[in-house]
Amino acid sequence: MPDSTVGSLLQWLDECPTPFHVVATAASSLDAAGFTRTTQLGNELPGLGYLAVDGCIVAWRLGTRTGALRIIGAHTDSPNLRILPNADIHQLGWSQLAIEIYGGVLLNSWLDRDLGIAGRVIDSHGVAHLFSAPKALARVPQLAIHLDREIGDKGLHLDRHQHMTPVWGSTKQSFADWLERTSGVADVSAFDAHLFDISRASLLGADKSLLASARLDNQASCWSAIEALRNAPVSEHTSILVLNDHEEVGSNSSTGAAGPMLANVVSLIASQHGLSEGQQFDRLASSWCLSADNAHAIHPNYAERHEPRHAPLINNGPAVKVNGNQRYATSARGLAHIRSIAESNGIPLQTFASRNNVPCGSTIGPITATQLGIEAIDIGIPQLSMHSAREMCGASDPVYMVSLMSAFLQR
């Protein structure tokens, strides 16, 4: 049976349909643990604090002047369908919503699902207001098999523009009017509105050993990191958590891993600790970053897609991700470091490497290592159906991940 703490992960996943909701949920969890929100970086940083901007949050627990940094990173965004500014389409008796595909969506997984809408509106004073409507509002309807006789032989072909446009009524709907009513904001100037599958996160299997939900990549890592930081004991090391936006589209933005938020906080902590430039370089050289992003568990129906000696099993612990071409940042030294932490704490650990003819994705690990000069270790819980509207992982692995992250912050 899975650990009871996994219930808090299920709740998190249901509360966080967008990166903005991830940041809000992370912030309220940190508030409850005694962290202070910082809005003016010109002031002294609190010992336990965080900075939240749009879809990114950086939190810290200050250690001593001579301690090193222990950074955990993850990303808040997931591939999805997003509503365009001029949203209304009225044609052929249908009301539809103009959308943009964000990131590497598994398009077929969005068909015939009941979709809700969530995000934020910006009012005429520039203030952001979150909203979420987890109701059956929209659907991307699949073509009947009778009108697509070749689907059996040729497979499903979806045109990214024409075939993914959702319907959301048979009478003339105005998205602007709906948004005003739903958000309770009368002067909406602009919005970020994302579609999401309204099925709730749930345990799955006759033994309830699996977990099915949207956005496991990468909110399972975000949840684990917040749990670890909240409960981290006082240490000489300074613990830092960064949850970046825009990883799924390359990380180049002010709130992405290639942006300045983490570097700014690291530099402010150095100046608060009174470190010279040389002392800061020494600190960075003795620091570690754990970059957490889900890995691919071996799929029982597609086992040939995996490197057989590096194919993570479900519910057998987090997988360290290795790629000499630097799609993942883990070096042999990093692998040795995290193995020693796992071993001394009795936490199972696996390794993932992709086949040479199946190139892997990347993570924020190499970007963070490049930006800060800190050695990074890429790691993730194994899952199936990555980038589907509904993904699946083992129910025990997120709990193993919390234990590993907690131990990492102390070593």
354 near Zn ion, rule: CB under 5 A: no
Question: Shortest distance, CB of residue 257 to Zn ion, whole angstroms?
Answer: 11
Question: Shortest distance, CB of residue 311 to Zn ion, whole angstroms?
Answer: 19
The answer to whether the CB of 341 falls within 8 A of the CB of 404 is: yes
213 or 238: whose CB is closer to Zn ion?
213
77 near Zn ion, rule: CB under 5 A: no
45 or 405: whose CB is closer to Zn ion?
405
118 or 216: whose CB is closer to Zn ion?
216
75 or 237: whose CB is closer to Zn ion?
75
Rounded CA-CA distance 80/115 in Å is 11
245 near Zn ion, rule: CB under 5 A: no
Question: Shortest distance, CB of residue 388 to Zn ion, whole angstroms?
Answer: 13
- Backbone φ and ψ for 241, nearest 5 degrees, come out as -120, 135
Sheet containing strand 210-213, edge to edge, reads 202-204, 210-213, 391-394, 382-384, 295-296
Number of residues engaging Zn ion in binding (CB under 5 A) = 3
49 or 394: whose CB is closer to Zn ion?
394
Question: Shortest distance, CB of residue 75 to Zn ion, whole angstroms?
Answer: 6
The answer to whether the CB of 56 falls within 8 A of the CB of 270 is: no
| Segment interacting with Zn ion (CB under 5 A) among 85-93, 132-140, 212-220, 268-276 | 212-220
Rounded CA-CA distance 396/318 in Å is 10
219 or 239: whose CB is closer to Zn ion?
219
Question: Shortest distance, CB of residue 363 to Zn ion, whole angstroms?
Answer: 7
193 or 257: whose CB is closer to Zn ion?
257
244 near Zn ion, rule: CB under 5 A: no
CA triple 35-403-31, angle to 5 deg:
15
- Backbone φ and ψ for 12, nearest 5 degrees, come out as -55, -50
Q: Give yes or no for a cis peptide into 43 (omega within 30° of 0).
A: no
What is residue 213's DSSP assignment?
E
217 near Zn ion, rule: CB under 5 A: yes
Binding-residue pattern over the window 293 to 312 for Zn ion, x denoting contact by CB under 5 A: x-------------------
Radius of gyration over every alpha carbon of the chain, rounded to an integer in angstroms: 22
Across 10-150, the runs of DSSP E, i.e. the strands, are 36-37, 48-53, 56-61, 69-75, 80-91, 94-102, 115-123, 128-138
Contacts (CB under 5 A) with Zn ion, residues 360-399? none
Binding-residue pattern over the window 163 to 202 for Zn ion, x denoting contact by CB under 5 A: ----------------------------------------
Rounded CA-CA distance 271/400 in Å is 35
| Segment interacting with Zn ion (CB under 5 A) among 108-116, 211-219, 223-231, 310-318 | 211-219
219 near Zn ion, rule: CB under 5 A: no
218 near Zn ion, rule: CB under 5 A: yes
The answer to whether the CB of 12 falls within 8 A of the CB of 118 is: no
Q: What SS3 class is residue 411?
A: coil
Rounded CA-CA distance 304/324 in Å is 21
Binding-residue pattern over the window 254 to 293 for Zn ion, x denoting contact by CB under 5 A: ---------------------------------------x
Rounded CA-CA distance 136/354 in Å is 38
Binding residues for Zn ion (CB under 5 A): 217-218, 293
